[in-house]
Amino acid sequence: MMIDLFSAMAKSVIDGDPNTAADLARSALADGLAAAEAIEKGFIPGIREVGTLWESGEYFLPELIASAEAMKAAMAVLRPALEKSDSASKGAGKIVIGTVEGDIHDIGKNLVSAMLTANGFEVIDLGANVKLIDFIEAAKASGADIICLSALLTTTMLGQRRLVDLLVEHGLRNRFIVLVGGAPTSREWAEEIGADGYAENANGAVREAFALMSKAGK
Amino acid sequence: MISGLRPKLELLSPALMDQILEEAFLILERNGVFFENAEARTLFREAGQNVDNDTQRVRLSRGLVERSLATTPASINMYDRSGEKSYRVGGDEVHFDPGSSGTRILEHTTRRERRPETADLVKIARLTDVLAHLDFQSTSLVSADVPGEIADDYRLYLALLFGAKPVVTGTFRTAGFRPMCEMLCAVRGGAAALKAKPLAIFDACPSPPLRWSLLTSQSLIDCARAGIPSELISMGMTGATSPATIAGTLVQHIVENLAGLTLAQLASPGAPVIFGGSPSSFDMRQGTTPMGAMETMMIDCAYAQLGKRLGLPTHAYMALSDAKTNDAQAGFETGIGAVLAALVGINVVSGPGMLDYESTISLEKMVIDDEVCALAYRLIDGIVPREEILAAHLFEGFGPETNFLSMPHTRKWYRAEHLVPIVADRDPYDTWESRGAASIADRAAGRVKDLLDKNPPNLPKSDIVSDLRRIMEADARENGVSFLPSLPG
């Protein structure tokens, strides 16, 4: 019975079906199942399978995005219960993400956001054209571990440098990990501006986020 | 004499073109397009359009768009730096220019990309100047040794100093337009002269889906008023920022470009506008935008066909590759693109020299691609009779000893009919081996060096040089940049 429920949860993520995922999460809570157990035994195995399907070349980005959406829908239902229970399962970390001010491109950022969510990070997506100070306010308010900055234009990538400078000015540089990306950026650029990490695509961003979290001992 | 046939490629049936245009007009009117620029919205409101300032949405009536199409010139004459040589951008004329606004350069010796500096931009301008099949130059790279705040006009500054061909360029910031326009006026000798003889094309990219940003709308307005041709670069990525189907993406492409074109006509009726783009077949595995994908090229050819149907000059990003080095992929993607673009008759084809998703320029590839462009031009020159009698007279006295090598007819025509490659390999095997078994990239590197050694920089007159320098330095100062890199040579 329980096993059926868990495999239905996994299947909802694998199928990329957010409505079913949210319904299953709600009925699990109504039946008295712990949120952490629903995540660990139901939804996480689903997203792992999605990862396998991606690696084997079976799944492409549209499937991946749909699965991430399903995972997000389930987490939206389960997270409040999870926080109330003060469970050890806090997920992979908390991330504030957005495209820097002056730049309205957000497709790359959306992919990164979806992949991070699918991999268990709690992602606060501020959208595109985000004022630098808003990144900092959101990161402070949510107690984020990482700030992810995207930029598609040669001009707006300068905002990434200014954000790092702004963190230093506010005495917050060591409190947040800064991860940058976007077409004109590079690892050299990340080093030059004093960011902590760089990724050239969404999968790279997930790897980098995990590596930086463990390096920071989080 | 019987005339030859200009070979021509069309991908869309008339009925499919009709449907694409109908759906585009429907979307323009019903869903509208976002314009972030308040001045743009004011122009639309004054033209009686449905404008929502809160959401920035502008709905465009079919009547206005059709009137705008009617006032847009069907062709534009671009002029080189001297103002003497002209290039018609219209009809089925084809002009190649290097791909633009890359952020990396491929180093031949290490086969690795690095960030480009002033000396690299100068080399590109000088090389483009002497490559015979690149009619236009472009501000190909963003120089990493000047701050980003002045990256746009600095590129144009170097291009105008070191190259005489018309320039494909664009602004990175609203304030970039003024110094860039001043530079163009300085070369031409005033704003009226620049309007009469355009020297540069400014690219303006909408943000898919259906959005014109603050910067790009302003560029359209400013260029229209200055008589500088704007190139509309709609760039949907199939299944990501535009519909997954090619036909669906074409509908969005038309909507975005027509919205931009209408803004330009409202800012200044008769403003020169080029119907262009840089769409791509989005790679659902990597999340990348392959310019060498066949589907990307199909979208390019098809929107250009639609642009011609609308009576507009056309542009596309073709004759480029996503390869990271000058390998077989670089060659075939570039070759296919150049040939297709020429067969469609796309007026401005931006791409030669470019690799890695429009991000990297290779000097060696520029030389190779110049030869690719030569092949494409040869193809569209087609097969022509040359003389009233094709061959019958050559067989008078035909016998076992007849050969054509010694005939005057051969000497008269072989050069016009057949290209002799410079970097493509036609050596017999042993010769090729004895010359070091070099790759085409190696031979191209040698030719880059030769061309740069043998051709001194083609600088404008000294008063223009000092005017350009003054404008550049003033803008640098205004942006808090006290030091510009010194120029080579």
Q: Are A62 and B284 in contact (CB < 8 Å)?
A: yes
- In chain B, positions 247-276, which contact chain A (CB-CB < 8 Å)? none
Report whether B234 contacts B315 (CB < 8 A). Answer: no
Query: Prior bond to B313 cis, omega within 30?
Result: no
- Can you point out the beta strands (E) in B242-338? 273-277, 315-317
Residues in chain B with CB shorter than 8 Å from the CB of A155 are: 148-149, 151, 172-173
Q: What is the pTM of this model?
A: 0.90
B291 vs A: CB within 8 A: no
Q: Is there a contact between B172 and A153 if contact means CB atoms under 8 Å apart?
A: yes
Contacts of B115 in chain A (CB under 8 A): 186, 188
Asked if A108 has any chain B CB less than 8 Å from its own CB, the reply is yes
| B412-465 confidence digits (pLDDT tens) | 999 999 999 999 999 999 999 999 999 999 999 999 999 999 999 999 999 999
From chain B, pick out residues whose CB is under 8 angstroms from the CB of A157.
Answer: 148
Amino acid letter for position B97: D
Say if B284 is an interface residue toward chain A (CB within 8 Å). Answer: yes
* Domains located in chain B, CATH noted: 1-385+407-481 (3.20.20.480)
Give B 22-41 residues with CB within 8 A of chain A: 36
Tell me the pLDDT tens digit for each residue of B25-71: 999 999 999 999 999 999 999 999 999 999 999 999 999 999 999 99
CB pairs under 8 A between A and B: 46
CA distance A193 to A205: 18
DSSP letter for B109, please: T
Does A111 contact chain B (CB < 8 Å)? yes
Q: Which of B172, B211, B237 comes nearest A107 by C-beta?
A: B237
How much of chain B, in percent, has pLDDT values that exceed 90? 95
Judge whether B56 and B34 are in contact, CB under 8 Å: yes
Q: Please tell me the distance from the alpha carbon of residue B138 to that of residue B155, in angstroms, as a whole number.
A: 9
pLDDT tens for each residue of B207-259 = 999 999 999 999 999 999 999 999 999 999 999 999 999 999 999 999 999 99
User: Per the CB < 8 Å rule, is B101 touching A154?
Assistant: yes
Cα B461 from chain centre: 27
Please tell me which residue of chain B has the smallest CA distance to A152: B207
Interchain CB contact of A60 with B (< 8 Å): yes
Q: What are phi and psi of B89, to 5 degrees?
A: -105, 95
Tens digit of each residue's pLDDT (9 = 90 or more) over A28-75: 999 999 998 998 899 989 988 988 888 788 999 899 889 988 988 998
- Go through the domains of chain A in sequence order and give each one's CATH number: 2-85 (1.10.1240.10), 93-215 (3.40.50.280)
* Min Cα separation A98/chain B (Å): 17
- The answer to whether residue A32 neighbours chain B at the CB level (below 8 Å) is no
DSSP, res B390: S
Q: Which residues in chain A are contacts of B240 at CB distance < 8 A?
A: 61, 107
- pLDDT per residue, tens digit, chain A (218 aa), is 678 999 999 999 999 999 999 999 999 999 999 998 998 899 989 988 988 888 788 999 899 889 988 988 998 899 888 777 655 455 788 999 999 887 767 778 888 888 888 777 888 989 888 999 999 999 999 999 999 999 877 778 888 999 999 999 999 999 999 999 988 888 989 999 999 999 988 878 988 999 999 988 87
The answer to whether the CB of B263 falls within 8 A of the CB of B212 is: yes
Interface contact B243, partner A, CB < 8 A: no
- Cβ distance B285 to A104 less than 8 Å, yes or no, reads no
Put simply, whether B173 touches A (Cβ < 8 Å) is yes
Angle at B110 between CA B107 and CA B112, to 5 degrees: 60
Measured between beta carbons, the chain A residues lying within 8 angstroms of B101 are: 154
CB contact under 8 A, A155 and B103: no
Please give the distance of CA B46 from its chain centroid, rounded to a whole number.
33
